[in-house]
Structure 1
Amino acid sequence: MDYETGRATDADPSNVETRDDFARFLSAVLADFQSRGAAEWENGTLTRFLDGLSAFAGARVGDAPEYDQEQASWRLFAEILRSATGYE
């Protein structure tokens, strides 16, 4: 697919530790999308977002330990969702 370069959401997943944190993170992602994300995100449509989500979920980040990438956590879910908004 040909995508123009856009940005990822401004929502920050770094403090997501609990389910409630994850819910607040999702609210921040939604607010960013509603304010300008549809026009500015790399993956501002459901099809492109799901494509990015699928691609990033299968990818491994070079600077993160493999163990951290295999242990499910609310923060990992948040990082995957954030990345899916801008992953090419």
Structure 2
Amino acid sequence: MESFQKFANNYPWFILIVIAWCVTLKGITLWLAARRGQLIWFITLIIINTIGILEILYLISIRKKSSNFNGNLVKISSPSFWGNVSVAKQK
């Protein structure tokens, strides 16, 4: 524990980067899981905190499923700072 405190005192920017990374990934994955109606993923992601590992696995898994999808793209509303976002429409 003492070595972590030393590290945190010497590199506070690193801790902030890790926190920003976790919050960003958590937000994106929770938003996508909710948007897709995947309640199990949503609950799992909200309960388990893995410093982004579970979130990355989720994003990889839905990317593989969506890459073979030949359906239409649907524009959805998103915050203005993200611009327009297109997602594959699920059947």
TM-score (norm 1): 0.29
| Bigger RCO of structures 1 and 2 (CA < 8 A, at least 6 apart) | 1
Query: 1 or 2, which has the higher helix percentage?
Result: 2
TM-score (norm 2): 0.28
Structure with max Cα Rg: 2
